Chain A
């Protein structure tokens, strides 16, 4: 009796009790499905974050207020007020700093915006004219904030396309119209090109205003929240980071670099931090999914034990007719492997469908890692062996006379 015959026989046996087979498989389907869906969504969001961070430019440094922690991650964002516009101006003006091309001071905060009857809550960016060059912002219509706007505290705003849709409806052209931010009326002078994307910062759901307007007229603060620095090239990133770092230490009259009241991160630092966070989340969620897989495996074992008891007479007969232990074990193991393997394949399909739908809904890039698919199918096979082993052993060690007598 070869494996193919045993396999065909097992398929026959499993189709007799279709409902039970389906329910036993369901546990594995759900387990494998959720592992695949969560892993691929995790990888998708990791990819989205990476794309977004890289789209900002690879020779970008970000100076943020607050103390440096052990692995380069700051404490509470915006919790510190140690950076000022003067810091940014001094960096730009310094002759010691040679590796830096552009310096863009920024102040960002959330605020309520109204236009007529509509209102939305979005991110306000106080910026200077250089921002559009450093952050590669392009406009679909109108013009960006100019140096003169910043000097004169002009009451103007550049809107992201999402904000335009929220306030004026789709495909509207609101240039020249007025919006109100914290009671201050601003005239719309430009609209940025749609960048798409979402994740932790939607580039389309932003309003840009002159930095001075934001500081003095809207929020009434003196500090800035970040200084974006564009290095002359990717190769001088380290130089730029060091030069800016020592310059600011001296300017803030600090001797010990560990006492710095600011931190400088490159895009790579941010990328690493972000992927560490998403990686941890993915691992955690996959761990939970793996538990459901384990429960599914126990379900398979349960069903197989019931099957062995039900078929005691059959097993006895097979042994009386000359079936050796190995054949009985193989027969029951193959049955449980078919159950888990079928569950694995169906679960994989389910997982792919779920992650496809979810990634469309929350607009993440859709990725299916081959490794996770191979792993899930391999794992489902292994579950069949592990949880089928005990029932199969039990079947094989039945004594033929006892089994034949069993009613």
Chain B
């Protein structure tokens, strides 16, 4: 499903070159629950941006579901992000001032799905994360854990190929973090592919496979 081969990312400044990723190769199969671990500055965020089609590699290939991501333009990348990737961010990144339901509907509206269907699906996914009673609350009326669950529902909305979670429990108390990980395990059992980036071993142990990254290289797979 995901094939990364000889992937490098080099940031160039005026006269310095920073190698964020150095010849990284791995595969992730459908239905896997993978944690990518590494200390800050190890290149894991860069890897996540490339896997999330938010950034393109300097060298190498990234193939997602048969699409060569390294060769697409901005609008095509937007389309891939919309249909293939469900993002879950550390800071939840919900749109403030609009309801949980509308937040979950947002990616579907960019895909041009009819309104009735959007509402129906958004309700379904919010129910799945246990927020059927909070659908019309705005993010300021929700706790951190609830906001992250809305974000998971939003990530699931387009039924994407992969769920990409960037430190999903980083801003949460441990009890709430635990709840989030339980949802991830449930989704994994349902057959969703989950890639989670974290630096906490406690969280990483929920995953079935761990890729450790240090100084832009994979040290343990």
Q: Which residues does A use to contact B, with CB under 8 Å?
A: 1, 5, 12, 16, 313-314, 317-327, 400-401, 404
How many chain B residues touch A (Cβ–Cβ < 8 Å)? 26
Which residues of B62-103 have CB atoms within 8 Å of chain A's CB atoms? Answer: 74-75, 78-79, 81-83, 87, 89, 93, 95, 97-98
Interface presence of B10 (CB below 8 A): no
- The listed residue (B52, B98, B109, B154) touching A5 by CB distance below 8 A is B109
- The listed residue (B49, B109, B112) touching A401 by CB distance below 8 A is B49
Determine whether the beta carbon of B89 is less than 8 Å from that of A1: no
> What are 16 residue pairs bridging A and B, where the CB atoms are less than 8 Å apart in the complex?
A1-B109, A12-B98, A16-B97, A313-B93, A319-B81, A320-B81, A321-B87, A321-B154, A322-B83, A322-B110, A322-B158, A323-B78, A324-B79, A324-B110, A325-B78, A401-B55
Given pairs A12-B98, A324-B110, 4 additional interface contacts (CB within 8 A): A317-B95, A320-B52, A321-B107, A324-B75
**Cα–Cα, bound, A324→B79 (Å):** 8
Closest beta carbon of chain B to A388's beta carbon, Å: 21
- The interface residues of chain B lying within 8 Å CB-to-CB of A320 are 52, 54, 81, 87, 93
**Cα–Cα, bound, A95→B154 (Å):** 101
Determine whether the beta carbon of B54 is less than 8 Å from that of A322: no
- The interface residues of chain A lying within 8 Å CB-to-CB of B79 are 322, 324
Determine whether the beta carbon of A319 is less than 8 Å from that of B49: no
Using known A-B contacts A324-B79, A325-B75, determine if residue A317 contacts B93 with beta carbons closer than 8 Å: yes
Which secondary structure characterizes the binding site on chain A? helix
- Nearest residue in B to A1 (C-beta to C-beta)? B109
Nearest first, the 8 A-B pairs at minimum CB distance are A322-B82, A322-B110, A1-B109, A321-B107, A324-B75, A324-B78, A401-B54, A317-B93
- The interface residues of chain B lying within 8 Å CB-to-CB of A317 are 93, 95
Interface presence of B207 (CB below 8 A): no
- The interface residues of chain A lying within 8 Å CB-to-CB of B55 are 401
Closest beta carbon of chain A to B136's beta carbon, Å: 15
- Nearest residue in A to B164 (C-beta to C-beta)? A320
**Cα–Cα, bound, A285→B75 (Å):** 48
Closest beta carbon of chain B to A76's beta carbon, Å: 69
Determine whether the beta carbon of B89 is less than 8 Å from that of A404: yes
Determine whether the beta carbon of B78 is less than 8 Å from that of A322: yes
- Nearest residue in B to A9 (C-beta to C-beta)? B98
Interface presence of B19 (CB below 8 A): no
Determine whether the beta carbon of A321 is less than 8 Å from that of B52: no
Interface presence of B111 (CB below 8 A): yes
Closest beta carbon of chain B to A308's beta carbon, Å: 16
**Cα–Cα, bound, A325→B83 (Å):** 16
- Nearest residue in B to A396 (C-beta to C-beta)? B74
Determine whether the beta carbon of B54 is less than 8 Å from that of A321: no
Determine whether the beta carbon of A323 is less than 8 Å from that of B110: yes
Determine whether the beta carbon of B89 is less than 8 Å from that of A319: no
Closest beta carbon of chain A to B17's beta carbon, Å: 19
**Cα–Cα, bound, A401→B81 (Å):** 13
Determine whether the beta carbon of A319 is less than 8 Å from that of B78: yes
- The interface residues of chain A lying within 8 Å CB-to-CB of B112 are 1
- The interface residues of chain B lying within 8 Å CB-to-CB of A318 are 106, 110
Which residues of B40-55 have CB atoms within 8 Å of chain A's CB atoms? Answer: 49, 52, 54-55
**Cα–Cα, bound, A256→B68 (Å):** 92
**Cα–Cα, bound, A314→B95 (Å):** 7
**Cα–Cα, bound, A401→B97 (Å):** 23
- The interface residues of chain B lying within 8 Å CB-to-CB of A321 are 81-82, 87, 106-107, 110, 154
- Nearest residue in A to B82 (C-beta to C-beta)? A322
- The interface residues of chain A lying within 8 Å CB-to-CB of B83 are 322
- Nearest residue in B to A313 (C-beta to C-beta)? B93
**Cα–Cα, bound, A326→B79 (Å):** 12
- The interface residues of chain B lying within 8 Å CB-to-CB of A326 are 75
- The interface residues of chain A lying within 8 Å CB-to-CB of B81 are 319-322
Closest beta carbon of chain A to B54's beta carbon, Å: 5
- The interface residues of chain B lying within 8 Å CB-to-CB of A404 are 54, 89, 93
- The interface residues of chain A lying within 8 Å CB-to-CB of B109 are 1, 5
**Cα–Cα, bound, A401→B45 (Å):** 10
Per-position binary interface string of chain B over residues 148-167, scored 1 when its CB falls under 8 Å from any chain A CB and 0 otherwise: 00000010001000000000
- The interface residues of chain A lying within 8 Å CB-to-CB of B82 are 321-322
**Cα–Cα, bound, A325→B55 (Å):** 16
- The interface residues of chain A lying within 8 Å CB-to-CB of B115 are 5
Per-position binary interface string of chain B over residues 15-46, scored 1 when its CB falls under 8 Å from any chain A CB and 0 otherwise: 00000000000000000000000000000000
**Cα–Cα, bound, A326→B78 (Å):** 11
**Cα–Cα, bound, A317→B155 (Å):** 12
Closest beta carbon of chain B to A68's beta carbon, Å: 71
- The interface residues of chain A lying within 8 Å CB-to-CB of B49 are 401
- Nearest residue in A to B49 (C-beta to C-beta)? A401
